Every structure is written in C-alpha cells, then in structure tokens.
Structure 1
Amino acid sequence: MPQALRADVGDHAPCDPEFPARAIAHITADREATAEAPLDLVPFANLKGFFTGSGKGQAPQILWDPFTGAFAQFFPATSRSKAVFDAPGGTRTNRAGRVVIQIEALFFPHCRVNGKVFARLADTPCKGWGDLHAWVSSWDVPDVWPMGRPTSLSRNTCPADKWRTQGGWYAHAHVPENNHVDPGSWPAFGSQPPTPSHTEPQFEPFPGASFFQAGRQSPIIDGMHGRLVAEDCDRYASSTRFDVWGAGDVRSYTAWQQKLGFEGRAADGVPGRFSWDRLEVPNV
C-alpha cells in the first residue's frame, strides 16, 4: 500500500486463487472499556511494535489508525496474513481468496482520543479510509458485504458454501472457524470528507522540508503549532512566538512522527510530506 509504513514481518505464503478476492475487517480491541469507564486509545506505535514483535503470529496485512490516517503494512496483499484463526485441515481462512486482505483498525469501543470518547469505529474521523478502500479495491475486492455490513458486536458465521463462492468484505465476526464478534461497525464504501465549496486547499500544502529552518517566522508554523497541541504532541517549553520555528517545534513534531509510527531517523522532528498531510494544518 503506497501510503503505509513498511513493517514486513516475512514468512510470506501464497493465497488460494480458486476462491474469490476478499477483505476481512477487524478492530484491535486491545483494551476493555465501557461507557462509564472509557480508556485512552493505545498509541499506534505500540500496536505496530506488537505486530512486528511478539504478535507476529497474529499480524494482518494492514494496521490502520482511523484518527490520524496512519498505516503500517506487515504482509503484501498477495501473501496470506495471520489475523484469523485457521484450524488444521479446515478452511484455510487466512488464504481463501485470490487475495485475503486483513485490516486491523486501531480501535476499541469507548476509547478516548483527545478527550472525546468513541463508541463505534464508524463514529471516528475514519481518516485515510478513502486511501485504504481504493487500495483494497485495486485488488478486485468487490464493494459488497455477503453477510451484511457489521452494525453490532455479534457473531454471525458465514455458511461454508457462501464463504467459498462469494468475494467481498467480511467482518471478523463472519469468518468460519472463528468466534470473534468484531469490528462492530465499519465505514461506508465511497465515504469521503465533504469537498470544500471554495477552490483553495482545505489544508496547508506541504511547504518542503527546507522551509523549516531555525528562526523561520510564518503563520504556517503557527497553524502547525495549534495542530500539534490538539494532537497531544505538545512538547513546547515556551508560550510565546508560536509562529517561529524552534527547538520546541522539533520536539513536538518528533512526538507527532512517533505517534504515526515513525522511528529512529524517520522521527527527527523535520516535517515530511506524509506526516504533514496527516497533520492537516488549516490553510492560511
């Protein structure tokens, strides 16, 4: 996937081309929260680290953060991944399709992000969904839910004949041999953010890495500052000169890059196009 951070875990294996192309939708469900006791969302970098570490045996093709639009890819589309249970000798659930693209959305019910609580995945900003949907569609996965689009956390196992013959999108709750109930909801096909009525960009275009030099003064930097604070990446030591690029901007932007899953030299505090576009600095 062009927009995804590469985090290949190896151990590739072919899918079964005699079955139709499909995608399987999951949520990470990594914490148990309630409406009365919501919990903070686990950072994207933590889940990326899990799937490249001790969780390799459960890794999907794609980890998707619907709050920032970040992606990490652990297997190519043409390989089976390992995010659903596959009983020995039964239906090869991770492979039953020309492609079987599995997506784990970083989400659990009643997660809290920037002080707001989200009960369903479909209630989140679903940033990046357009890119994700387009990429899955490029592998000839049709825009259908053979078992119905998921609307609740409930089990509805797909009959074996339908699983063998009908491609499209399936919830983890639909997959044979499994007992999960996720994802509970999923964004609609073709759903996109509303197009602005004016012709100017809605967000500030990436000005290039060379723009961010010590002492540079610009309303773009001021707008970036506000977005970094809103994304809980405030590492500023001063409360003045928000429009001047300095050490606090570098620290705060590093925190944003790390939130998107970048590590090492890729999280150096200097904006790049991918991280800048995901930050969505208002047009000035």
Structure 2
Amino acid sequence: MPHPWMPQALKADVGDHAPCDPEFPARAIAHITADREADAGTPLDLVPFGNLEGFFTGGGRGRSPHLLWDPFTGAFTQFFPATSRSKALSDKAGGTRTNRAGKVVIQIEALFFPHCRVNGKVFARLVDTPCRGWDDLHAWINSWDVPDVWPMGPPTSLTRRTCPADKWRSQGGWYAHAHVPENDHVDPGSWPAFVSPPPGPLSDEPRFEPFPGVPFFRAGRRSPVIAGMHGRLVDEDCDRYTSSTAIDVWGPGDVRSYTAWQQKLGLEGSAADGVPGRFSWDRLAVPNV
C-alpha cells in the first residue's frame, strides 16, 4: 500500500478530506504558485516558502493543493493525503469534479514564478531551477500508479490548451493546470523530466533526522547530528565556519551558519537567531545518522 502522506514532506493536514472518483484513472496535476508578476527586465525575489505554507494552512486553505514543493531547497509540505481530493482547481457545479476526477488526483504547487530571483540568480523557467526533491516527489506519485505520460503533451510554455472531455475521462497521467477542463490558468510553463522509479517500495523509516528540540543546541554539545547539520549547511551555501575541525561540536560557527540558513528561508529578526527551530530544521533535511 503506498503512503497517503509523502515520507519526505512536512505534514500540515488542513482537514476537510473527501474521496476521489475511482471511475477515472489516476492522475497528477502540475502547478506553479505564480505569486508575483516579474519579467526579464524586472525580476523579483522568490517569496519565502513559509509564506505560501502559511497561506495554504490559513486564509488560502480553500485553494490548497496536496503538496507545496520548493525546487530550490527540496522542501515539501503536504496538506491533504493522496486518498483525498485537494482544492487547487476550479471545479464548477455539475461539471467533471476536476479536483476528484481520478483514483487519485495529486496536485503539486511548485514554489516558482517566471523570472524569480534566488541568491542573486534569475530563473525564467521551473526547469532552470535545481529541481531539488523531484526524484522523491516523482517516486511517491509513481507509487500511486500515476503513469509517466502527459496526455496533452508536457508543458513547454505558458499557454492554455484545454483537454477534450473524452481524453480527460479516459487517460490518466500528468496534466498541467493549463490542460484541466473548467480552468483558465496557463501554468506551469515547464516541468522536470521523469526519472526512473526506485527499485523497491518506499521505506516507512524517516530519511532525515527529526528535530531534536531547542535545548539540544547548547555550547559544547557533541553529536553526529551536529556534524550532519554542518554538512547540509555547507551544501546549502550557508558556510560561515572559520574552522573545519570539531564539526560535531555546537559552537559559534554553527550559529553564524544556521543564521544564514534561516535568512535564506526568508526568516528575519529573532526568527533568524542561529538557533534551529522546527520549521527551519525540517527544511534543512539533515540525513539520519
């Protein structure tokens, strides 16, 4: 049995679950958040992941997808289990029940808008980003028997191309928001290529270190968890260390480097004090030690 909750995702269940329509084939719907309007001449900074997470668990919960995906860090937050419909599509009364039309209808919002700026670099298309976490995302959706096909062709531009009713009813696979009946959006514009599925079932074991709590991070604490954190901060270009020794001991270099990570996530003030909290820790994805 595949997992209703993606193992790599932070669970933020918004409730209000409802079944899908099993007479339709399994499908996935690709979106981008498109939360700012920029162009090549006037790029804009990417909106922090936490802002969108707060929107989908707050005032925007009536528009929540299953998953919010940050292709720059590989972070995920999941709002509905795969066995429930989500709410990211327009669904007209008496129509095809777009949010439910499938054995599963897994909807993914990638945190992205064209010409967003991250760490000084501008990205015109989603596929230009690092697409971190895509292999995990694809494997999880694949486990729900969503076929690796785009019945309307993969998205290559921000244009509208509505799927004919007979194809929508009969063909499973991946659809762009731009393809879904009863909708008028043109996203996502591009999407990463499919990757080979893993050789076996997804593991029930968490792949990342759970948050050990704020008191864990005290001066002089020695732990392989801190060494793993050190490595991830370096991977994320948040290396503010002045020494490569004693990487498993919490010290001033960890505080400086973790502050850089919190700031990279869009945190400010006391929320970027260099002491790990659950939000930033879950997104750093420190491997199990």
- 1:44, 1:7 → 2: CA distance? 14
Q: Deviations over 1:157-206 (max 9, x none)?
A: 000000000000000000000000000000000179xxxxxxxxxxxx98
Letter of the structure 1 residue corresponding to residue 27 of structure 2: R
Identity %: 73
Letter of the structure 1 residue corresponding to residue 277 of structure 2: A
Aligned length: 258
Q: Deviations over 1:32-65 (max 9, x none)?
A: 0110010111111111111000010000000000
Deviation at 1:250, TM superposition (A): 3.6
Q: What is the aligned counterpart of 1:23 among 28, 31, 47?
A: 28
Match of 2:113 in 1: 108
Match of 1:55 in 2: 60
Q: Are 1:179 and 2:157 matched, yes or no?
A: no
User: 1:116-131 to 2 correspondence within 5 Å?
Assistant: 116-131=121-136
Please identify, of 215-224 and 120-129, the stretch whose mean Cα deviation from structure 2 is larger: 215-224
- 1:272, 1:92 → 2: CA distance? 34
- 1:146, 1:246 → 2: CA distance? 53
Q: Are 1:6 and 2:16 matched, yes or no?
A: no
Q: What is the aligned counterpart of 2:37 among 23, 32, 44?
A: 32
> Is the Cα contact below 8 Å between 1:257 and 1:275 reproduced in 2?
no
> Is the Cα contact below 8 Å between 2:233 and 2:261 reproduced in 1?
no
Measured at CA, do residues 158 and 92 of structure 1 come closer, stay the same or move farther in structure 2, by a change above 3 Å? same
> Is the Cα contact below 8 Å between 1:212 and 1:270 reproduced in 2?
no
TM-score by length of 2: 0.78
SS in 1 for 2:285: helix
Q: What is the aligned counterpart of 2:167 among 162, 166, 173?
A: 162
- 2:283, 2:35 → 1: CA distance? 30
Deviation at 1:80, TM superposition (A): 0.2
- 1:220, 1:16 → 2: CA distance? 44
- 1:247, 1:269 → 2: CA distance? 21
Match of 1:68 in 2: 73
Measured at CA, do residues 124 and 90 of structure 1 come closer, stay the same or move farther in structure 2, by a change above 3 Å? same
Match of 1:195 in 2: none
Q: What is the aligned counterpart of 1:276 among 250, 269, 286?
A: 286
- 2:28, 2:147 → 1: CA distance? 9
Q: Deviations over 1:52-106 (max 9, x none)?
A: 0001000000000000000000000010000000001111000000000000000
User: 1:121-160 to 2 correspondence within 5 Å?
Assistant: 121-160=126-165
Q: What is the aligned counterpart of 1:267 among 249, 252, 277?
A: 277
Flag structure 2 segments of 5+ consecutive residues without an equivalent.
Answer: 1-5, 198-207
Deviation at 1:7, TM superposition (A): 0.4
Measured at CA, do residues 191 and 37 of structure 1 come closer, stay the same or move farther in structure 2, by a change above 3 Å? farther
Q: What is the aligned counterpart of 1:43 among 42, 48, 51?
A: 48
> Is the Cα contact below 8 Å between 1:252 and 1:269 reproduced in 2?
no
Q: Are 1:83 and 2:88 matched, yes or no?
A: yes
Flag structure 1 segments of 5+ consecutive residues without an equivalent.
Answer: 193-204, 279-284
SS in 1 for 2:36: coil
SS in 1 for 2:68: strand
Measured at CA, do residues 270 and 112 of structure 1 come closer, stay the same or move farther in structure 2, by a change above 3 Å? closer
> Is the Cα contact below 8 Å between 1:257 and 1:267 reproduced in 2?
no
Measured at CA, do residues 149 and 106 of structure 1 come closer, stay the same or move farther in structure 2, by a change above 3 Å? same
Measured at CA, do residues 49 and 248 of structure 1 come closer, stay the same or move farther in structure 2, by a change above 3 Å? farther
Deviation at 1:246, TM superposition (A): 1.7
Match of 1:202 in 2: none
Letter of the structure 1 residue corresponding to residue 258 of structure 2: Y
SS in 1 for 2:107: strand
Letter of the structure 1 residue corresponding to residue 143 of structure 2: S
Q: Deviations over 1:201-248 (max 9, x none)?
A: xxxx98x97x976346999887556445x35xx8x7xx8457563245
TM-score by length of 1: 0.79
